[in-house]
Amino acid sequence: MTTDPHRGQPIRHRGVEPAAARLIVVCVHGRGASAADILSVADEVRATDVAYLAPEAAGQTWYPYSFLAPIEDNQPYLDSALGVLAAIVDDLRAQQIPGERVALLGFSQGACLALEFAARHAQRYAAIVAFSGAAIALPGTQRIHPKGMLGTPVFLGCSDVDPHIPLARVQESAELFRALGATVDARIYPGMGHTINADELCAARLLLAAR
């Protein structure tokens, strides 16, 4: 078995070129989905002057089991997936594009991955938008850069009865990012299930337009 299963997977691009973009949004798809699927969500956000970069997971899944499983059960896929996001951010930095111009957006497994990456690489980002997701590492995990997010706006939207994302883990993620120095907008929608609603898209639209 390869130790880096997502290495070399394509990265889809939509919008303006990153160097000319007001904002670069790294879009992370969910389990069983594709880069095209998450880019269709980005289309609904309708941010302009933006470059969208959407990596494609090998086999359409970033890691095989639930994010609630022990982290070692999801290896080496989880580390490989986090490495994909790190490579994108590092490549943008090499192009003189700082984190302040980079946003992370994800749905479901992609939201979990984006949140975990941001928590492990705490810095000032333009924004983090997580639809139906939560950070992967267990609450209480020591993070390397306390307060390192320097006011990064973080949006967390989820149902109170999501079959894949326990409400408690969303609430714990909100507290985690506040402890990391982010400004958190956590919205819990009664009875919604595992999807994205119009209020979430509106919140993301306003957040990315303001950056």
Confirm whether 99 is domain-assigned.
yes
Confirm whether 74 is domain-assigned.
yes
Scanning the chain, the segments in alpha helix (DSSP H) are 35-45, 77-94, 109-120, 167-179, 198-210
Q: Which residues of 130-150 are buried (b: 16+ CB within 10 A; e: fewer)?
A: bbbbbbbeeeeeebeeeebbb
For the chain, 211 residues long, the average pLDDT of each consecutive 10-residue run is: 91 94 97 97 87 98 97 97 98 95 98 97 96 91 81 98 97 95 98 96 93 73
Confirm whether 5 is domain-assigned.
no
Q: What is the pLDDT of residues 111-151, one digit of tens each?
A: 999 999 999 999 999 999 999 999 999 877 877 777 889 99
Structural domain count of the chain: 1
Confirm whether 153 is domain-assigned.
yes
First to last CA, the chain: 42
From 24, 93, 33, select the one nearest 52 (Cα to Cα).
Answer: 24
CA dihedral sign, ordered 12, 16, 19, 22:
negative
Q: What is the pLDDT of residues 14-34, one digit of tens each?
A: 999 999 999 999 999 999 999
The CATH number of the domain holding residue 158 is 3.40.50.1820
Confirm whether 6 is domain-assigned.
no
Length of the chain: 211
Cβ(29)–Cβ(58) below 8 Å = no
Q: From CA 15, how far away is CA 13, in angstroms rounded?
A: 7
Determine the pLDDT at residue 1.
Answer: 60
Q: From CA 107, how far away is CA 188, in angstroms rounded?
A: 15
Confirm whether 135 is domain-assigned.
yes
**Range of 44's domain?**
11-210
Confirm whether 107 is domain-assigned.
yes
Confirm whether 2 is domain-assigned.
no
Q: DSSP assignment, residue 195?
A: S
Determine the pLDDT at residue 124.
Answer: 96
